[in-house]
A and B are shown apart, each in its own frame.
Chain A
Protein backbone atom coordinates (compact mmCIF):
# COMPACT_ATOMS: atom_id res chain seq x y z
CA UNK A 1 0.00 0.00 0.00
CA UNK A 2 2.04 2.93 -1.15
CA UNK A 3 0.02 5.35 -3.22
CA UNK A 4 -2.67 7.76 -2.10
CA UNK A 5 -5.04 6.14 -4.57
CA UNK A 6 -4.54 2.76 -2.95
CA UNK A 7 -5.20 4.25 0.49
CA UNK A 8 -8.32 6.05 -0.65
CA UNK A 9 -9.63 2.88 -2.25
CA UNK A 10 -8.97 0.96 0.95
CA UNK A 11 -10.72 3.60 3.04
CA UNK A 12 -13.77 3.52 0.81
CA UNK A 13 -13.94 -0.22 1.10
CA UNK A 14 -13.43 -0.09 4.84
CA UNK A 15 -16.22 2.47 5.20
CA UNK A 16 -18.67 -0.19 3.98
CA UNK A 17 -17.36 -2.58 6.62
CA UNK A 18 -17.37 0.10 9.30
CA UNK A 19 -21.06 0.75 8.65
CA UNK A 20 -21.71 -2.39 10.70
CA UNK A 21 -20.16 -0.93 13.86
CA UNK A 22 -23.58 -0.68 15.59
CA UNK A 23 -24.48 -4.27 14.73
CA UNK A 24 -21.15 -5.58 16.02
CA UNK A 25 -21.51 -3.56 19.22
CA UNK A 26 -24.99 -4.99 19.78
CA UNK A 27 -23.67 -8.50 19.10
CA UNK A 28 -21.00 -8.06 21.74
CA UNK A 29 -23.59 -6.73 24.20
CA UNK A 30 -26.00 -9.59 23.50
CA UNK A 31 -23.19 -12.07 24.15
CA UNK A 32 -22.54 -10.51 27.52
CA UNK A 33 -19.32 -8.62 26.81
CA UNK A 34 -18.21 -6.29 29.59
CA UNK A 35 -16.85 -3.84 27.02
CA UNK A 36 -19.04 -4.23 23.94
CA UNK A 37 -17.89 -0.97 22.38
CA UNK A 38 -14.24 -1.85 22.90
CA UNK A 39 -14.83 -5.25 21.33
CA UNK A 40 -16.54 -3.67 18.31
CA UNK A 41 -13.76 -1.09 17.92
CA UNK A 42 -11.10 -3.82 18.08
CA UNK A 43 -13.02 -5.92 15.55
CA UNK A 44 -13.06 -2.93 13.20
CA UNK A 45 -9.32 -2.32 13.70
CA UNK A 46 -8.65 -5.94 12.82
CA UNK A 47 -10.89 -5.60 9.77
CA UNK A 48 -8.85 -2.60 8.63
CA UNK A 49 -5.54 -4.41 9.11
CA UNK A 50 -6.84 -7.53 7.36
CA UNK A 51 -9.18 -5.89 4.88
CA UNK A 52 -8.18 -8.32 2.13
CA UNK A 53 -9.65 -11.16 4.23
CA UNK A 54 -13.00 -9.45 4.81
CA UNK A 55 -15.59 -10.69 2.29
CA UNK A 56 -16.60 -7.75 0.13
CA UNK A 57 -20.21 -8.77 -0.33
CA UNK A 58 -21.04 -9.80 3.23
CA UNK A 59 -18.64 -8.52 5.85
CA UNK A 60 -21.02 -9.03 8.79
CA UNK A 61 -20.48 -12.78 9.35
CA UNK A 62 -16.71 -12.18 9.32
CA UNK A 63 -17.11 -9.33 11.80
CA UNK A 64 -19.27 -11.44 14.13
CA UNK A 65 -16.76 -14.27 14.05
CA UNK A 66 -13.96 -11.82 14.89
CA UNK A 67 -16.00 -10.23 17.67
CA UNK A 68 -16.83 -13.67 19.07
CA UNK A 69 -13.13 -14.51 19.31
CA UNK A 70 -12.46 -11.20 21.04
CA UNK A 71 -15.28 -11.83 23.53
CA UNK A 72 -13.89 -15.27 24.30
CA UNK A 73 -10.45 -13.70 24.83
CA UNK A 74 -12.08 -11.19 27.14
CA UNK A 75 -13.68 -14.05 29.09
CA UNK A 76 -10.36 -15.83 29.35
CA UNK A 77 -8.76 -12.70 30.73
CA UNK A 78 -11.56 -12.46 33.31
CA UNK A 79 -11.15 -16.12 34.23
CA UNK A 80 -7.51 -15.50 35.15
CA UNK A 81 -8.61 -13.06 37.78
CA UNK A 82 -11.74 -15.02 38.77
CA UNK A 83 -10.95 -18.71 38.15
CA UNK A 84 -14.28 -19.84 39.45
CA UNK A 85 -16.18 -18.13 36.63
CA UNK A 86 -18.09 -20.51 34.43
CA UNK A 87 -16.82 -20.32 30.85
CA UNK A 88 -18.25 -21.39 27.57
CA UNK A 89 -15.56 -23.26 25.66
CA UNK A 90 -16.34 -22.02 22.16
CA UNK A 91 -19.25 -19.56 22.12
CA UNK A 92 -19.98 -16.79 24.59
CA UNK A 93 -23.16 -17.14 26.62
CA UNK A 94 -25.88 -14.62 25.84
CA UNK A 95 -26.86 -11.79 28.08
CA UNK A 96 -29.90 -13.15 29.87
CA UNK A 97 -30.57 -10.53 32.52
CA UNK A 98 -33.34 -8.85 30.58
CA UNK A 99 -34.78 -12.06 29.13
CA UNK A 100 -37.98 -13.78 30.02
CA UNK A 101 -36.71 -16.29 32.66
CA UNK A 102 -38.51 -19.19 30.99
CA UNK A 103 -36.86 -18.44 27.64
CA UNK A 104 -33.54 -17.79 29.36
CA UNK A 105 -33.60 -21.20 31.03
CA UNK A 106 -34.58 -22.89 27.77
CA UNK A 107 -31.70 -21.15 25.95
CA UNK A 108 -29.27 -22.11 28.70
CA UNK A 109 -30.28 -25.74 28.38
CA UNK A 110 -29.00 -25.81 24.79
CA UNK A 111 -25.44 -26.56 23.82
CA UNK A 112 -23.33 -23.48 23.04
CA UNK A 113 -23.14 -24.12 19.29
CA UNK A 114 -26.88 -24.78 19.00
CA UNK A 115 -27.61 -21.64 20.96
CA UNK A 116 -25.25 -19.50 18.88
CA UNK A 117 -26.81 -20.84 15.68
CA UNK A 118 -30.28 -19.86 16.89
CA UNK A 119 -29.24 -16.44 18.14
CA UNK A 120 -27.38 -15.52 14.96
CA UNK A 121 -30.64 -16.01 13.09
CA UNK A 122 -33.09 -14.68 15.68
CA UNK A 123 -31.14 -11.80 17.21
CA UNK A 124 -28.49 -10.89 14.67
CA UNK A 125 -30.98 -11.32 11.82
CA UNK A 126 -28.55 -13.27 9.64
CA UNK A 127 -29.74 -15.50 6.83
CA UNK A 128 -28.79 -19.15 7.39
CA UNK A 129 -26.00 -18.97 4.79
CA UNK A 130 -24.54 -15.89 6.50
CA UNK A 131 -24.85 -17.46 9.94
CA UNK A 132 -23.14 -20.59 8.60
CA UNK A 133 -20.25 -18.42 7.47
CA UNK A 134 -20.03 -16.73 10.86
CA UNK A 135 -19.75 -20.15 12.52
CA UNK A 136 -17.37 -21.53 9.93
CA UNK A 137 -19.84 -24.27 8.91
CA UNK A 138 -21.01 -25.22 5.49
CA UNK A 139 -24.60 -24.09 4.83
CA UNK A 140 -26.04 -27.61 4.81
CA UNK A 141 -24.44 -28.54 8.11
CA UNK A 142 -25.67 -25.26 9.56
CA UNK A 143 -29.27 -25.88 8.46
CA UNK A 144 -29.23 -29.29 10.08
CA UNK A 145 -27.82 -27.82 13.28
CA UNK A 146 -30.37 -25.00 13.23
CA UNK A 147 -33.25 -27.45 12.79
CA UNK A 148 -32.07 -29.53 15.72
CA UNK A 149 -31.52 -26.43 17.83
CA UNK A 150 -35.09 -25.29 17.08
CA UNK A 151 -36.48 -28.65 18.13
CA UNK A 152 -34.45 -28.68 21.31
CA UNK A 153 -35.51 -25.17 22.23
CA UNK A 154 -39.15 -26.01 21.60
CA UNK A 155 -38.83 -29.14 23.74
CA UNK A 156 -37.16 -27.12 26.49
CA UNK A 157 -39.92 -24.50 26.37
CA UNK A 158 -42.59 -27.22 26.46
CA UNK A 159 -40.87 -28.67 29.47
CA UNK A 160 -40.96 -25.25 31.11
CA UNK A 161 -44.69 -24.93 30.48
CA UNK A 162 -45.57 -28.35 31.92
CA UNK A 163 -47.14 -27.97 35.36
CA UNK A 164 -45.33 -29.44 38.35
CA UNK A 165 -46.67 -32.88 39.32
CA UNK A 166 -49.18 -32.92 42.15
CA UNK A 167 -48.01 -34.52 45.33
CA UNK A 168 -50.65 -36.78 46.82
CA UNK A 169 -50.55 -37.05 50.54
CA UNK A 170 -52.46 -39.76 52.18
CA UNK A 171 -53.69 -38.66 55.51
CA UNK A 172 -55.18 -41.28 57.59
CA UNK A 173 -58.57 -40.30 58.83
CA UNK A 174 -58.97 -39.32 62.33
Chain B
Protein backbone atom coordinates (compact mmCIF):
# COMPACT_ATOMS: atom_id res chain seq x y z
CA UNK B 1 0.00 0.00 0.00
CA UNK B 2 1.30 3.41 -0.86
CA UNK B 3 1.22 6.15 1.76
CA UNK B 4 -1.65 7.67 -0.13
CA UNK B 5 -3.68 4.50 0.20
CA UNK B 6 -2.76 4.18 3.87
CA UNK B 7 -3.77 7.79 4.46
CA UNK B 8 -7.00 7.13 2.67
CA UNK B 9 -7.76 4.13 4.86
CA UNK B 10 -6.78 5.97 8.04
CA UNK B 11 -8.87 8.99 7.06
CA UNK B 12 -11.83 6.70 6.47
CA UNK B 13 -11.88 5.73 10.15
CA UNK B 14 -15.61 5.85 10.81
CA UNK B 15 -15.58 6.50 14.57
CA UNK B 16 -13.30 8.55 16.78
CA UNK B 17 -12.21 7.11 20.11
CA UNK B 18 -14.53 7.91 22.98
CA UNK B 19 -17.46 6.70 24.96
CA UNK B 20 -20.69 8.19 26.13
CA UNK B 21 -20.89 6.13 29.33
CA UNK B 22 -20.08 7.52 32.75
CA UNK B 23 -16.54 6.18 32.96
CA UNK B 24 -16.10 6.95 36.68
CA UNK B 25 -19.29 5.13 37.61
CA UNK B 26 -18.29 2.17 35.46
CA UNK B 27 -14.85 2.08 37.06
CA UNK B 28 -16.33 2.13 40.57
CA UNK B 29 -18.80 -0.60 39.64
CA UNK B 30 -16.06 -2.84 38.26
CA UNK B 31 -13.64 -2.47 41.16
CA UNK B 32 -16.43 -3.30 43.63
CA UNK B 33 -16.15 -6.89 42.45
CA UNK B 34 -13.37 -9.23 43.49
CA UNK B 35 -10.10 -8.49 41.74
CA UNK B 36 -7.64 -11.01 40.33
CA UNK B 37 -6.53 -13.15 43.28
CA UNK B 38 -3.20 -13.91 41.62
CA UNK B 39 -2.03 -10.34 42.15
CA UNK B 40 -1.94 -10.89 45.89
CA UNK B 41 -1.00 -14.52 45.93
CA UNK B 42 1.90 -14.23 43.51
CA UNK B 43 4.35 -12.47 45.85
CA UNK B 44 3.45 -14.84 48.68
CA UNK B 45 3.87 -17.82 46.42
CA UNK B 46 7.19 -16.43 45.24
CA UNK B 47 8.29 -15.88 48.82
CA UNK B 48 7.24 -19.42 49.71
CA UNK B 49 9.03 -20.82 46.67
CA UNK B 50 12.15 -18.83 47.52
CA UNK B 51 12.00 -20.07 51.11
CA UNK B 52 11.69 -23.67 49.95
CA UNK B 53 14.59 -23.19 47.53
CA UNK B 54 16.83 -21.60 50.18
CA UNK B 55 15.98 -24.39 52.62
CA UNK B 56 16.73 -27.00 49.97
CA UNK B 57 20.07 -25.39 49.13
CA UNK B 58 21.05 -25.20 52.80
CA UNK B 59 20.00 -28.82 53.34
CA UNK B 60 22.02 -29.94 50.30
CA UNK B 61 25.04 -28.01 51.54
CA UNK B 62 24.78 -29.54 55.01
CA UNK B 63 24.36 -33.02 53.58
CA UNK B 64 27.29 -32.58 51.22
CA UNK B 65 29.60 -31.27 53.90
CA UNK B 66 28.44 -33.86 56.38
CA UNK B 67 28.75 -36.77 53.96
CA UNK B 68 32.46 -37.07 54.49
CA UNK B 69 32.12 -36.90 58.25
CA UNK B 70 29.18 -39.28 58.33
CA UNK B 71 30.94 -41.78 56.14
CA UNK B 72 34.03 -41.74 58.34
CA UNK B 73 31.82 -42.39 61.36
CA UNK B 74 30.56 -45.56 59.74
CA UNK B 75 32.78 -48.48 60.76
CA UNK B 76 34.21 -49.75 57.47
CA UNK B 77 34.45 -46.45 55.65
CA UNK B 78 37.58 -44.35 56.15
CA UNK B 79 38.87 -41.03 54.87
CA UNK B 80 42.25 -39.74 53.76
CA UNK B 81 43.93 -39.32 57.20
CA UNK B 82 43.06 -42.86 58.26
CA UNK B 83 44.18 -44.31 54.94
CA UNK B 84 47.48 -42.50 55.28
CA UNK B 85 47.90 -43.70 58.87
CA UNK B 86 47.27 -47.27 57.75
CA UNK B 87 49.83 -46.87 54.98
CA UNK B 88 52.48 -45.57 57.35
CA UNK B 89 51.75 -48.30 59.90
CA UNK B 90 52.05 -50.97 57.20
CA UNK B 91 55.49 -49.70 56.21
CA UNK B 92 56.73 -50.78 59.64
CA UNK B 93 55.34 -54.29 59.17
CA UNK B 94 56.62 -54.84 55.63
CA UNK B 95 60.12 -54.92 54.20
CA UNK B 96 61.18 -53.30 50.96
CA UNK B 97 63.96 -54.77 48.85
CA UNK B 98 67.35 -53.05 49.13
CA UNK B 99 67.55 -49.75 47.25
CA UNK B 100 63.80 -49.18 47.17
CA UNK B 101 61.79 -46.53 49.02
CA UNK B 102 58.11 -46.23 49.78
CA UNK B 103 56.31 -44.22 47.14
CA UNK B 104 54.74 -40.95 48.22
CA UNK B 105 51.12 -41.33 49.08
CA UNK B 106 48.51 -39.06 47.47
CA UNK B 107 44.91 -39.30 48.52
CA UNK B 108 42.21 -37.04 47.01
CA UNK B 109 40.48 -34.79 49.50
CA UNK B 110 36.99 -35.75 50.67
CA UNK B 111 37.36 -39.26 49.28
CA UNK B 112 36.56 -42.35 51.29
CA UNK B 113 37.40 -46.00 50.96
CA UNK B 114 37.13 -49.25 52.90
CA UNK B 115 39.01 -49.87 56.10
CA UNK B 116 42.40 -51.49 55.46
CA UNK B 117 42.92 -49.81 52.09
CA UNK B 118 46.07 -48.01 53.33
CA UNK B 119 47.63 -51.35 54.27
CA UNK B 120 46.55 -52.80 50.93
CA UNK B 121 48.31 -49.97 49.07
CA UNK B 122 51.49 -50.68 51.04
CA UNK B 123 51.37 -54.41 50.24
CA UNK B 124 50.85 -53.59 46.54
CA UNK B 125 53.81 -51.19 46.53
CA UNK B 126 55.98 -53.73 48.34
CA UNK B 127 54.97 -56.48 45.92
CA UNK B 128 55.78 -54.28 42.89
CA UNK B 129 59.18 -53.42 44.36
CA UNK B 130 60.09 -57.07 45.06
CA UNK B 131 58.97 -58.15 41.57
CA UNK B 132 61.24 -55.54 39.98
CA UNK B 133 64.05 -56.45 42.34
CA UNK B 134 63.66 -60.05 41.20
CA UNK B 135 63.67 -59.05 37.51
CA UNK B 136 66.89 -57.09 38.06
CA UNK B 137 68.41 -60.07 39.87
CA UNK B 138 67.49 -62.39 36.99
CA UNK B 139 68.99 -60.00 34.46
CA UNK B 140 72.13 -59.63 36.63
CA UNK B 141 72.39 -63.35 37.19
CA UNK B 142 72.18 -62.78 40.96
CA UNK B 143 70.66 -66.09 42.06
CA UNK B 144 70.75 -65.25 45.78
CA UNK B 145 68.89 -61.99 45.28
CA UNK B 146 66.37 -63.84 43.12
CA UNK B 147 65.73 -66.43 45.82
CA UNK B 148 65.34 -63.67 48.38
CA UNK B 149 62.79 -61.90 46.19
CA UNK B 150 60.89 -65.12 45.55
CA UNK B 151 60.73 -65.80 49.27
CA UNK B 152 59.56 -62.26 50.03
CA UNK B 153 56.84 -62.44 47.37
CA UNK B 154 55.62 -65.84 48.57
CA UNK B 155 55.53 -64.43 52.08
CA UNK B 156 53.42 -61.50 50.87
CA UNK B 157 50.99 -63.85 49.15
CA UNK B 158 50.77 -66.07 52.18
CA UNK B 159 50.57 -63.52 54.98
CA UNK B 160 49.49 -60.25 53.41
CA UNK B 161 47.00 -61.23 50.75
CA UNK B 162 43.46 -62.43 50.99
CA UNK B 163 40.89 -63.46 48.41
CA UNK B 164 37.49 -61.84 48.89
CA UNK B 165 34.57 -64.25 49.16
CA UNK B 166 32.83 -65.02 45.88
CA UNK B 167 30.19 -62.37 45.16
CA UNK B 168 31.56 -59.94 47.77
CA UNK B 169 31.07 -56.25 47.06
CA UNK B 170 33.82 -53.93 45.80
CA UNK B 171 34.03 -52.47 49.31
CA UNK B 172 34.63 -55.76 51.05
CA UNK B 173 37.26 -55.46 53.75
CA UNK B 174 38.88 -58.35 55.62
CA UNK B 175 38.02 -58.47 59.32
CA UNK B 176 41.63 -58.19 60.56
CA UNK B 177 42.71 -55.44 58.16
CA UNK B 178 43.54 -53.05 61.00
CA UNK B 179 46.19 -55.33 62.51
CA UNK B 180 47.86 -56.75 59.43
CA UNK B 181 48.32 -54.99 56.09
CA UNK B 182 46.43 -57.05 53.54
CA UNK B 183 46.05 -56.86 49.81
CA UNK B 184 42.57 -57.96 48.77
CA UNK B 185 42.20 -60.02 45.60
CA UNK B 186 38.86 -60.45 43.93
CA UNK B 187 37.72 -64.04 43.53
CA UNK B 188 38.61 -64.03 39.84
CA UNK B 189 41.89 -65.97 39.73
CA UNK B 190 44.20 -62.99 40.27
CA UNK B 191 45.76 -64.52 43.36
CA UNK B 192 46.44 -67.80 41.53
CA UNK B 193 47.88 -65.87 38.58
CA UNK B 194 50.47 -64.32 40.89
CA UNK B 195 51.37 -67.73 42.30
CA UNK B 196 51.90 -69.13 38.79
CA UNK B 197 53.89 -66.05 37.77
CA UNK B 198 56.34 -66.53 40.64
CA UNK B 199 56.61 -70.29 40.01
CA UNK B 200 57.32 -69.62 36.31
CA UNK B 201 59.95 -67.01 37.14
CA UNK B 202 61.62 -69.43 39.53
CA UNK B 203 61.57 -72.01 36.70
CA UNK B 204 63.36 -69.64 34.35
CA UNK B 205 60.33 -68.15 32.60
CA UNK B 206 60.29 -64.56 33.87
CA UNK B 207 58.21 -62.99 31.02
CA UNK B 208 55.06 -62.41 33.08
CA UNK B 209 57.12 -61.22 36.05
CA UNK B 210 58.87 -58.70 33.79
CA UNK B 211 55.52 -57.57 32.44
CA UNK B 212 54.10 -57.20 35.97
CA UNK B 213 57.17 -55.16 36.97
CA UNK B 214 56.64 -52.83 34.04
CA UNK B 215 53.00 -52.38 34.92
CA UNK B 216 53.00 -52.42 38.72
CA UNK B 217 56.57 -51.64 39.72
CA UNK B 218 57.90 -48.42 41.25
CA UNK B 219 57.61 -45.47 38.88
CA UNK B 220 55.16 -47.29 36.63
Q: Which residues of A contact B (CB under 8 A)?
A: 1-3, 6-7, 9-11, 13-15, 18, 21-23, 25-26, 29-30, 37, 40-41, 44-45, 48-53, 94-100, 103, 107, 118-119, 122-123, 150-151, 153-154, 157
1-51 of chain B: CB within 8 A of chain A: 1-2, 5-6, 8-10, 12-21, 23, 26-27, 30-31, 33-42
Residues of chain B with a CB closer than 8 A to A122's CB? 6, 9-10, 13
80-115 of chain B: CB within 8 A of chain A: none
Q: Which 7 A-B pairs have the closest CB atoms?
A: A150-B1, A1-B40, A52-B38, A25-B19, A51-B36, A26-B17, A122-B9
Q: Which residues of B contact A (CB under 8 A)?
A: 1-2, 5-6, 8-10, 12-21, 23, 26-27, 30-31, 33-42
Beyond A30-B13, A123-B9, 10 additional contacts (C-beta under 8 Å) are A1-B39, A3-B40, A6-B39, A10-B40, A11-B31, A14-B27, A14-B35, A23-B17, A44-B26, A150-B6
Whether the Cβ atoms of A30 and B38 lie closer than 8 Å is no
Whether the Cβ atoms of B16 and A26 lie closer than 8 Å is yes
Q: Which residue of B lies closest to A102 (CB)?
A: B8
Whether the Cβ atoms of B8 and A103 lie closer than 8 Å is yes
Whether the Cβ atoms of B13 and A1 lie closer than 8 Å is no
Whether the Cβ atoms of A51 and B35 lie closer than 8 Å is yes
Q: Which residue of B lies closest to A7 (CB)?
A: B35
Cβ contact of A154, chosen from B5, B31, B39, cutoff 8 A: B5
Instruction: Write the nearest CB–CB distance from A67 to chain B, whole angstroms.
Output: 12
How far is it, in angstroms, between the C-alpha of A54 and the C-alpha of B128 when the chains are bound?
76
Residues of chain A with a CB closer than 8 A to B26's CB? 21, 41, 44
Residues of chain A with a CB closer than 8 A to B5's CB? 150, 153-154, 157
Instruction: Write the nearest CB–CB distance from A28 to chain B, whole angstroms.
Output: 9
Instruction: Write the nearest CB–CB distance from B79 to chain A, whole angstroms.
Output: 53
Between A and B, 14 residue pairs with Cβ closer than 8 Å are A3-B40, A18-B27, A21-B21, A26-B16, A26-B19, A41-B30, A48-B36, A51-B36, A95-B14, A98-B14, A103-B12, A119-B9, A122-B10, A157-B5
Instruction: Write the nearest CB–CB distance from A117 to chain B, whole angstroms.
Output: 11
Whether the Cβ atoms of A52 and B42 lie closer than 8 Å is yes
Residues of chain A with a CB closer than 8 A to B12's CB? 99-100, 103
Whether the Cβ atoms of B9 and A103 lie closer than 8 Å is yes
Whether the Cβ atoms of A2 and B40 lie closer than 8 Å is yes
Cβ contact of A14, chosen from B10, B14, B31, cutoff 8 A: B31
Residues of chain A with a CB closer than 8 A to B31's CB? 10-11, 14, 48
Residues of chain A with a CB closer than 8 A to B23's CB? 18, 21
Q: Which residue of B lies closest to A153 (CB)?
A: B1
How far is it, in angstroms, between the C-alpha of A83 and the C-alpha of B128 when the chains are bound?
98
Residues of chain B with a CB closer than 8 A to A94's CB? 14
Instruction: Write the nearest CB–CB distance from B12 to chain A, whole angstroms.
Output: 5
Whether the Cβ atoms of A50 and B36 lie closer than 8 Å is yes
Q: A6-B40, A15-B27 are in contact. Are A22 and B33 (CB under 8 A)?
A: no
Residues of chain B with a CB closer than 8 A to A18's CB? 23, 27, 30
Residues of chain B with a CB closer than 8 A to A49's CB? 33-36
Q: Which residue of B lies closest to A48 (CB)?
A: B30
Instruction: Write the nearest CB–CB distance from A6 to chain B, whole angstroms.
Output: 4
Cβ contact of B18, chosen from A3, A25, A44, A45, cutoff 8 A: A25
